[in-house]
Structure 1
Amino acid sequence: MASIDEQFSQAYNHWDLEALYTDLASAKGKRLTPVEKCHLRGLLCGLSPGEIAEKLGKNGKGVETDLCATIYKYVKNLLDKSDEKVENWRNIGEWLDNSGYKSQSIQVKGLDISPDKTVVNVTNINIEKNHIVFFISMKIPTSQTADIRQEETENN
């Protein structure tokens, strides 16, 4: 069985989890626990609390109770929705998506920019006038038939 840190890892393909973990830790006042991160990833993969519990071999009511006391509360605090009720577990993903935490995918014919194929290197980091400046190089594989023109990328 996969470790708790590996459960629901497909959420990394569609969500900016590192930013989300950091921001939720600020809302919580301390870092998220591995269990909290796991439950959040499960929700972001579109699984109900019952389905998360089933995949983790836990009690469904227990996971629901944990989510209400932790993730739901942290998300509401983060997004200034403290007065709103979580009517459905899907609200969490919708709210986070609307707040920009879902990764934006770029579709360009002939390019495969999936995280496992794209190579990103940070070549230099400087501090200039109270700003951190990163110099980044990216290698994105293309197919033999890639025909990328300016007007095609502008249309996407």
Structure 2
Amino acid sequence: MTATDEHFGEAASEWDLETLYTDLASAKGKRLTPVEKLHLRGLLCGHSPAEIAEKLSKNGKGVETDLCATVYKYVKGLVDKSNGKVENWRNISEWLEEAGYKSLSSAKVQGLELLPEKSIVNITNINIEKNQIVFLINLRIPTQLSSDLPTENLGEDIFKGLQ
């Protein structure tokens, strides 16, 4: 983790940042800079450009100008809103959530707790093949077993809880 990764680190618990960085780099044509990543994480944490500037001890107008020239432009290209206007900085996180970059919230199954801050669901590709829509999904769900749960029938108990 670099020094700039320490700021707005909570974005990593709710967003698939690595995939988002990769996809935005494709939209940009080259890798995002550390400052672009930092500003993006600030937006994803729900901070306005002025709040991002304040937390980073920067000029508010400078951060807003940087966002308009970089992150806003890349996100618009990524989510196919090239003709759309970023009317509010909140549009960025809304568009990215609609595009599937936000991790899904938790669910509880009998005896098994899913950890929302670590769970990641990402649709990596959508294709139409032979009159079918095919989704490629990357699903990572860390689990923690309850200590009082017997493990010999764990699989059966989990599937009963899902029915």
TM range (shorter): 0.7 to 0.9
Alignment of 1:20-99 (within 5 A): 20-99=20-99
TM-score normalised by length of structure 1: 0.76
Contact 2:13–2:117 under 8 Å retained in 1: no
Partners of 2:77 and 2:141 lie apart in 1 by: 36
Aligned-residue offset at 1:59:
0.6
Query: Is structure 2 residue 158 aligned with structure 1 residue 153?
Result: no
Contact 2:39 2:67 in 1 (8 A): yes
Two-structure CA RMSD over aligned residues (Å):
2.6
Q: Map Cα deviations across residues 99-155 of structure 1 (whole Å, 9 max, x no partner).
A: 00001133115434438889xxxxxxxxxxxxxxxxxx986222235585424334x
Give the ranges of 4+ consecutive aligned residues of structure 1 lying more than 6 Å apart after TM superposition. Answer: 115-118
Give the equivalent residue in structure 2 for 1:144: 147
Return the alpha-carbon distance in structure 2 between the equivalents of residues 116 and 91 of structure 1.
23
Name the structure 1 match of 2:10: 10
- Aligned residue in 1 for 2:112: 111
Letter aligned with residue 10 of structure 2: Q
Distance 2:113 2:59 in 1: 40
Give a deviation string over 1:54-105, Cα, whole Å, max 9, x none.
1000011110000000000000011111100000000000000000000113
Alignment-mate amino acid for residue 143 of structure 1:
S
Distance change >3 Å, CA 70–CA 139, structure 1 → 2: closer
Q: Which structure 2 segments of 5+ residues have no match?
A: 120-139
The answer for unaligned runs of 5 or more in structure 1 is 119-136
Q: Per the alignment, in what secondary structure is the counterpart of residue 58 of structure 1? A: coil
Give the number of the structure whose residues are more often strand, by fraction. 2
1:24 CA displacement: 0.2
Pair 1:38–1:107, CA change in 2 (3 A): same
Q: What's the TM-score, normalizing by structure 2? A: 0.73
The number of residues matched between the two structures is 135
Opposite residue 111 of structure 1, the aligned amino acid is L
